[in-house]
Each structure stands twice: as C-alpha cells, then as structure tokens.
Amino acid sequence: MIVVAPAGKGGMLLEMEGITKQFPGVLANDRVDFDVRSGEVHTLLGENGAGKSTLMKVLYGLYPADAGEIRLRGEPAAIGSPSDAIEHGIGMIHQHFMLVPTLTVAENVALGLPTGSRVRQDLRPVRKRIRELSDAYGLQMDPEAYIWQLAVGERQRVEIMKAIYRDVSLLILDEPTSVLTPSEVDDLFVTLRRMTDDGRGLVFISHKLREVMSLSDRITVLRGGRVTGRTVPDETSREDLAHMMVGREVRLAPSRIEVETGEVRLSMSGLNVAGDRGAPAVIDLDLAVRGGEIVGIAGVSGNGQRELAEALAGLRPVESGKAAMGGADTTDMTPKEIRRLGVSYIPEERMRDGAIGDFSVAENLILVDYDSPPMSRRGFLDFKEIEEGCSDLVERFTVKTPSLDTPTSHLSGGNIQKLIIARELSSDPAVLIASQPTRGVDIGAAEYIHSVLMERRAQGTAILLISEDLDEVIGLSDRIAVMFEGRIMGVLDKEEATVGHLGLLMAGVADDAA
Amino acid sequence: MSDFFTVSVLLATVAAGIRLAAPFLLAALGETLGQRSGVLNLGVEGVMLLGAYGAYYATLRTDSVLLGILVGLAVGAFMGVVYGVVTLALKAEQGISGIGVFIFGLGLSDLLFQRQVGTPTPIDGLRDWEVPLLGGLPWIGEVLFHQNVLVYAAFLLVPVLWYLIYRTPFGMNVRAVGETPEAADSLGVSVNGTRYLTILIGNSMAGLAGAALALELGIFQQNLTNGHGFIAIALVYFGAWRPAGVMAGSLVFGLVSATVLQWKTLGIVAGTTASIVGMFPAVLTILVLVIVSRRTGAPSALTRPFERGR
Ligand SMILES: Nc1ncnc2c1ncn2[C@@H]1O[C@H](COP(=O)(O)OP(=O)(O)OP(=O)(O)O)[C@@H](O)[C@H]1O
Ligand SMILES: [Mg+2]
C-alpha cells in the first residue's frame, strides 16, 4: 500500500484539473477544477444531474475521464480502478449503499483487505480494531451483526467505518445524509469533524443547504457539468446557494392559500400492520384526511411510517383494523384496485419500488396507466400520445435526461426520484400518499414538488405526507401527526406545531406528560 | 419385497447409494462454488461428459487410473477457462452459454469416442479400497469404508468447500461477489478474477465427476452421464447453496437410485412397472424443486454479469 504520508493541516491533498467526462448525449463534467486541502470539508453542490457523482466516480477510478489531470499531494496520479484509489488513500461513500447484506459488519469492513493468512481468515483483530475505532470516532456498532439486520443509520456508520479502518486520507461522501434522521446527522458530523481534526480531507455532497452551511469549509457549485461558483459559508446564505445552483431565485418555503376542506377521503381506524420480521410496526392507528387537506406524518424513520404507507397502498397486509379511501374499504384490496380508486403513491424506496432500471424513461413514466386511454387504445400503445405526455412531464419536473428512450438506470440518482414523482403526480389523484417526496432531489425540484402538492391540495386531493424533514412537514401540512414506535403520539394543528414541540413528540414524550 | 429387507441386501443398497451419490456430489459442489460467486453454469452435463471421456480414454491407453483422474480434472479445467472467457470477458448470457457447453460436450465426447475407440471397450476402472481399521467395523465398515477413492474424495470435499467458502479470505470474496459485486469492486476486490477462479474450480470438479462415473463403470458410451449434470444443478438449489445441504441432496438421490436398481435386480419390479419406478429419481427432483422453490439463500447477483460504473 502506498499510503500517502499525512500532510500538515492545510496542505494540498487533491487537485483535479480540467476534468471532462462525456456520456452518450450528456457532457457530465466540463473542464472541472476541484481541490481539497487536508483538514477541510469541501462541499460539492449542484442540481440533480449536475455531475457531482460523476466527478467523484472519476476520482475513485469508477469512470475513466476523457480529459484532465488528477494530482495527489502534488504528484500526478493515475487512478484506473477503485484499487488504485484505495492505494492512494482515497475512500468513497456512495450515494447508494455499497454493503454486502449477507455478510457481517466485520466481514464488510475486512473485504478486500488481507486478513489472517491466505488459507485462514482471522477476523478477531478486525473486530478488535472496529471496537477501538468505534470508541474513538463515536460510531456505535456490533461487528458481528449482519448488514441485513441493520437500520439505514447503522449501515451508514458501517460505510464510514470501512473508510476509517482503511485510514483514508481523503474521503468522498456522496449524499451520506439523505437517509439519516436529524440526530443521526448530528452524530455523523461529530465523527466527520474528528476526521478532519486528524488532518483528513473530506468531499461532501448534499442537497440540504442547512447541513452544507454548518459543515463546509469551502463550497463549489456545479451546474450542467461546469463549475459556476466557489464560496465559503461566511460569505453566503442558503438563498444565495440555491440561486447559484439553479440559476434563478428559489423560494425555500412554499406559499399557501386557504382551502375549504371537503369530505374524508382517506381514513384509518384501529390499523395494525406487521413489519418485515413479523413484529408489530403500526399499532392501533386512527387518522383521517379530508379532501383539500395535507396531513403530515412526522417522525424519525423506522417508527412504522414505511409499513403504514405500504399497507395503505396495498403492498403489505393489514393485520387488523380498517383502511378506507374514497368511500371504499381498501383494507384487503390489491395495489391495482387501490390505484383504480384514484390513489397515487410515492414510495420511500423509490429506487427499489418505484422504477424499473432497464426500462426507458418513457416506459417508466407510463408504468401505471399504460393500459388505459390516452396511453393505449384497444390494447395498443399510442406512441404519439405517450411521447407528448412524457416530454411535458420531463420538462415540468426538470428531469434531466438525454432522451425519453434513455434507460432509467443511466439517470443521476435525483433524476430517477423526480421521474417517479412526476408519474405519481401527473394524474389527478383523489388521494395521494407521499413518502419522503423530496429526499435526494435538489432545491429547484423540491420547490416544484412542493408547489405541485399545494396545487393538488387546492384542487381537493387528500394528501398524506410522510417526511422526516421537519421544515417540509411544517411548511406544507395543515395538521401534523407524530409517529413513534408505531403509534401516533399526537396530532397538532399547523399553528401549534413548532420544531421543539414536534421534536419532543418524535422522541416519544407524550403530550400530556410534556 | 421380503428379499429386499434382509440385512445384507439393505447394507449393499446403502453402500451403492453412497457410491452413486459421489458423481452428483462432486459436480454439485463445484456448481455451488460457481453460483456462490454469481455464475450459473448449465453446462455441467457437457463438462462431465468430456471429463468422463477423457478419463476413460487415458485409462484405456495407459492402464493408469490415476492418469485418467488427472485427465478428467484437466479437461474440466480447460472447459472452465473457455466458459470463463465466454461469460466474463465476452459477457455472454450465462444460461444460453451453458446450454451451448452441454451440446458441445455431448457432441464432442461422442465424436471422439466414435473416432478413437469405436466399439465399447471395458477398462479396468476404480477399485474399492478398504480403509484400514475402519473398514473392519461391523455394518458401518461395509457401507462407508469399502468405496473407491473418488467417493472418499467427494465426501471429504464437503468440509473442504465449506471451509473455503466460510473461513478463507477467498471465500468471503466469493460470497461478496455473488451478492453485491459493486460493493466488492468498490473495495478493490477483483469481481471477474474471483469468478474466473470459481469457474475454474467448479468445472474441474465437474470434469472429475465425469471421471468418477466413467472409471466407476469402467466403460464409456454416448451420453454416458444421462442427466447427472442437470440433476447436480438442481441439487445446488435443493441444498440451498450450502455444501452440507448439497451433500444431503446427493445422498437422497443416490439412495433412491440404488433402491430402484436393487428392486430391478431382485425382480421386485419388472417390465412397465420397472420403467415407471425408474423415473422415481427424476420425479423426486421435480418435487423437491417445487418444495424448496422459495429460493431462499440464492446469491442475489446470480447470472448477472458485472460492469463497472452502472
Ligand atoms: N453510467 C452513465 N451512463 C450515461 N449517463 C450517465 C451515467 N452516469 C451519469 N450519467 C449522466 O451524467 C449526468 C450527471 O450525473 P451525476 O450522477 O454525476 O449527477 P449528480 O450531480 O450526482 O446528481 P444527483 O444529485 O441527482 O445525484 C446526468 O445527466 C446523468 O444522466
Ligand atoms: Mg449523485
């Protein structure tokens, strides 16, 4: 291993110069210059599809660059594969988890490293070292647990552990916080600060401007593959950053109008739903949503929100109790029957549940209503209608794609999210169940999604908004229910909801006790 | 029927069952390793046929069973290199390539046999070797320790493969590559390098399985393996990708086959009934596959070629 000697704090660690990367139909990076000093957090900011992940994948040896040079501590470095990157002391935490679910934490950490002899693996020293590093960096984990047993926050800690264990001098974090709860984010930042105190350099990518402002030492903004701005937190604001990313003014808080609420369109009574491993996930839940109303469900993820949404959408059996939508009892209906009632569903795990990677953008957009007019007539797809409808959606939701025929797996992470959201919001649903609708999407798109939700509300849709983003829940909802360990801790009207009050309920402190 | 339930006949049947299980076991263990790394090889049958012919021919010419075994292994290894290049370097569809290997093996082994040998000529194949001391144990000795070396080898390979998969760094790479190749690649593990090795080992074992069959029977003929390779693949699923499970499946299969054979020999079944009973093993395979078709434990990346940066 050519581990690079630790530089003094502030020494130049990485210089990327004139990096250019062309994909079919997209110039993902256009002569990008980027550098990182030791001991600092340098943030990469940009819309979905701006080229952030691509630039970092070039650095990590996952894509070859078409042009440009990479220097590490002043020396030109040829990085042709992840092994080269690892040898140079570079680590990367990817936008999607890179863990083997069927292996243990220790095995995942040890993967690719010599452990024991060739013929006999010895993980004892690995487990010991993991425990030591856990303490030193505040990363709690059980080295012998299997990855599939862990919640997302714990998985993220394992990803960080993999990097720390390898003693990387430069760590790339591609949207590490998009799946974390607010308190997990705080813990992560503490860990990251310890890493920079040790003289490591970090590249941080996030769409959450609050985080960017609090963690970064420097910020570089990409738009359309080019660097469009460089700044430091002291000289900028969230509004300025949003402007730099999108190239126009962005309203961070949605505007709302008074809407006359209608009849109850979505109701749950005494609902019980089991989790993946059979334990109760939703317990005796009662809630009703009227037309023209947005009811937010706040709460740290993993408290039954996902199971609730899946049960409502017909994807998970209801143990007992009743769910009704648009006047019909939907408790035992199939997803298709429920959709027929005019119910739209934006799943939380959009990559897994929402899109088919090998299908084209257009095919994914019509996935739900391909079998009814206007998309198809008498069993035949109407291609002209499809193309017009899809182009319109792609434009309105700013889905960045070279064409409607591009395989969806070629889009950037955030653009896949937008695609699914565009599909689900395109019809005129009577009921909308939206799980984390802006997770992983950029500011401009989040603004648009919020405005569409408000529009649907004005048109009388009953909306159940499940989100961990308190700003989002407070900004959009008429009423807010807080979920904790499968139960609703309390329902607050918009006026009485403050971050502090919600935070208490989210931590499981009941209202009458508070 | 009462003829069957005598101690000596029962013991002989069990011993035969274990012997018959060995070729299945060798081939299925090799396939298990390959599938664990995410590579499906439907061509096991073809590789077995080539291995069987190679072993038979080498023994026929040199009278050396040892050389026959080595040739069987080498033929398997060579087919492994071919299959590796086709599926890993050229990224051909694994299912289709495997069927190609089967047809190739079926045709070539027969062609070579017709050209080089012509008429079925028996060879002096594998002899049973009694394990000192253990072979003298009552009952157990006769059943377990009067077998040929390849039977011992097949069963000894069960713990060896278990150890390889679960207790060595290579085995961990295999499991990672079969489950989440992107994660393994991102940590610098060579996905295709690992898969080349499992394919090489797996095909060598298929070649050895063919050798075991030919040297046990002391003969070669067209389509000698008669479905052994395909059943071995089914046994991998039956065994839930675990060496011990695969061994259990092979034993069930071997014992059922031995029982059917014994019934025929004793005349318990004859004529049409015999033919129907003869289908037992195949029916059993299908039943078992229906029952265990939950596919729990299947490597997630099975049949998926790896391409960086997708
Ligand atoms: N493997 C690929 N093949 C073809 N095009 C690609 C590929 N990977 C990325 N692209 C394209 O390159 C552009 C930049 O993508 P990239 O993933 O770098 O965006 P990003 O800034 O990380 O966005 P996000 O915030 O959504 O993750 C996008 O338009 C995307 O469609
Ligand atoms: Mg990205």
Neighbours of A248 (CB within 10 A): 8
Using one digit for the tens of pLDDT, what is the confidence trace for A261-275?
A: 888 999 999 999 998
Q: Do A62 and B308 count as a contact with CB atoms less than 8 A apart?
A: yes
Question: Contact at 8 Å (CB) between B101 and B202?
Answer: no
Q: What is the DSSP letter of A297?
A: E
How many angstroms separate the CA atoms of A147 and A156, rounded? 10
Whether A92 has its CB under 8 Å from any CB of chain B: the answer is yes
Q: Select from A35, A20, A40 the least CA-distant residue to A73.
A: A35
Interface mutation vs chain B, best among A29, A98, A100, most B CBs within 10 Å: A100
Of B294, B288, B163, B184, nearest to B238 by C-alpha is B288
CA of A345 from ligand 1 middle (Å) equals 25
Using an 8 Å Cβ cutoff, are A68 and A31 in contact?
Answer: yes
Count CA atoms within 13 Å of residue B214 on its CB side: 37
At residue A114 the predicted structure's pLDDT band, cuts being 50, 70 and 90, is confident
Does A24 sit behind a cis peptide bond, omega within 30 degrees of 0 on the bond before it? no
Q: For residues A479 and A512, which has the higher predicted lDDT (pLDDT)?
A: A479
Give CA–CA dist A81/B287, Å, rounded.
Answer: 46
Which residues share a beta bridge with A488? A483
When computed from its CA atoms, the radius of gyration of chain A, rounded to whole angstroms, is 24
Tens-digit pLDDT profile for residues A348-362:
877 666 778 788 888
CA distance A395 to A304: 35
A439 lines ligand 1 (CB under 6 A): no
Ranking A7-21, A60-74, A210-224 by mean pLDDT, the lowest is A7-21
In angstroms, the Cα distances linking A86 to A19, A89, A108, A132 are 20, 5, 15, 22
* DSSP helix/strand/coil, A14: strand
B309 lines ligand 1 (CB under 6 A): yes
**What pLDDT score was predicted for residue A427?**
77
- Residue B130 CB contacts under 8 Å (≥ 6 apart), including other chains: B141, B145, B146
Residue A152 pLDDT more than 60?
Answer: yes
Between B93 and A397, where is the model more confident? B93
Q: Residue A266 and residue A240: Cα distance in Å, rounded? A: 40
Q: Is the pLDDT of residue A512 over 70?
A: no
pLDDT for the residue A376: 62
What confidence tier does A513 reach under pLDDT thresholds 50, 70, 90?
Answer: very low
DSSP one-letter string for chain B: -TTTTSHHHHHHHHHHHHHHHHHHHHHHHHHHHHHHTT---TTHHHHHHHHHHHHHHHHHHH--HHHHHHHHHHHHHHHHHHHHIIIIIS---HHHHHHHHHHHHHHHHHHHHHHHT-S---------EEPTTGGGSTTHHHHHSEE-HHHHHHHHHHHHHHHHHHHSHHHHHHHHHHH-HHHHHHTT--HHHHHHHHHHHHHHHHHHHHHHHHHHHT---TTTTTTHHHHHHHHHHHTTT-HHHHHHHHHHHHHHHHHHHHHHHHTSS-HHHHHHHHTHHHHHHHHHHHHTTT-TT--TTTT----TT-
Q: Say what the pLDDT of residue B46 is.
A: 97
Q: How far is B235 from chain A (nearest CA, A)?
A: 22
Question: Pick from A186, A182, A188, A113: which is nearest to A154 by CA?
Answer: A188
Choose the mutation target among A21, A108, A111, A408 for the interface with B, i.e. most B CBs under 10 Å: A111
Asked if the model's pLDDT at residue A374 lies above 70, the reply is no
Six-digit token string for A452: 């569409």
Q: Residue A269 pairs with which residues in a beta bridge?
A: A322
Report the residue of chain A nearest B308, measured CA to CA.
Answer: A62
Nearest to A13, CA basis, from A165, A218, A177, A158: A218
Compute the distance between CA of residue B146 and CA of residue B156 in angstroms, rounded to an integer.
15
Q: Do domains A12-246 and A264-506 have the same CATH topology?
A: yes
- The CA distance from B214 to B219, in Å, is 6
* ipTM value: 0.86
Closest by CA to A170, choosing from A63, A12, A1, is: A12
A175-223 pLDDT, tens digit per residue, is 998 777 777 888 899 999 999 999 999 999 998 888 999 999 999 999 9
At residue B221, the pLDDT reads 93
The structural domains of chain B, ordered by start, are 7-292 (1.10.3470)
Size of interface A-B (CB pairs under 8 A): 75
Judged by average pLDDT, the poorest of A25-29, A124-128, A259-263 is: A259-263
How far is Cα of residue A414 from the mean position of the Cα atoms in its chain? 8
The residue of chain B with its CA nearest to that of A166 is B187
- Per residue in A400-446, pLDDT (tens digit) is 888 888 888 888 878 888 888 888 888 788 999 999 888 888 888 88
| Residue B166 C-alpha, separation from nearest chain A C-alpha, in angstroms | 9
Nearest to B179 among A81, A100, A115 (CB): A100
- CATH number for region A12-246: 3.40.50.300
CB contact under 8 A, B189 and A111: yes
Residue A411: phi and psi, rounded to 5, are -80, 160
What whole-number distance in Å separates Cα of residue A435 and Cα of residue B263? 64
| B203-216: pLDDT as tens digits | 999 999 999 999 99
Q: Amino acid identity, residue B119?
A: T
Average pLDDT in the A49-69 region?
95
**What's the pLDDT score for residue B113?**
95
Whether A6 has a pLDDT exceeding 50, the answer reads: no
Name the residue with the closest Cα to ligand 1, atom 25. A48
For residues A4 and A255, give the distance between their C-alpha atoms in angstroms, rounded to a whole number.
51
* CATH (residue range A264-506): 3.40.50.300
pLDDT (0 to 100) of residue A370: 61
Pocket test for ligand 1, best of A22, A205, A398, A411 (most atoms within 8 A of CB): A411
**How does pLDDT run across A273-325, given as a tens digit for each residue?**
998 777 899 999 999 999 999 999 998 777 899 899 999 999 999 999 999 99
Q: Is A205 in the pocket of ligand 1 (CB under 6 A)?
A: no
pLDDT for the residue numbered A448: 84
pLDDT of residue A463: 95
Distance B303 CA to ligand 2 centre (A): 27
Domain extents for chain A? Answer: 12-246, 264-506
The Å distance, Cα B125 to ligand 2 centre, comes to 63
> Which of the four pLDDT bands, split at 50, 70 and 90, describes residue A9?
low
Q: Report the C-alpha dihedral over residues A195, A200, A205, A207, rounded to 10 degrees.
A: 40
Could you tell me the pLDDT band of residue A2, with boundaries at 50, 70 and 90?
Answer: very low
A7 has pLDDT over 60: no
Q: Which amino acid is at B131?
A: V
Give the per-residue pLDDT at A426: 80
Contact B183 A119 (CB under 8 A): no
pLDDT 10s digits, A487-505: 998 899 988 888 778 878 8
Supply the mean pLDDT for chain A: 87
How far away, in angstroms, is A412 Cα from ligand 1 center? 4
pLDDT for A373 equals: 57
Ligand 2 centroid to Cα of residue A174, in Å, is 7
Q: What is the pLDDT of residue A3?
A: 43
From the number of C-beta atoms within 10 Å of its C-beta (0-12, 13-18, 19+), residue A334 rates as exposed
Q: Is A74 left (phi over 0), alpha (psi -120 to 50) or beta?
A: left
Interface-testing mutation among B180, B189, B242, B296, with chain A (most A C-beta atoms within 10 A): B180
**Positions in chain B short of pLDDT 70:** 1, 292-296, 309-310
Q: What's the pLDDT at A5? A: 43
Q: Is A413 left (phi over 0), alpha (psi -120 to 50) or beta?
A: alpha
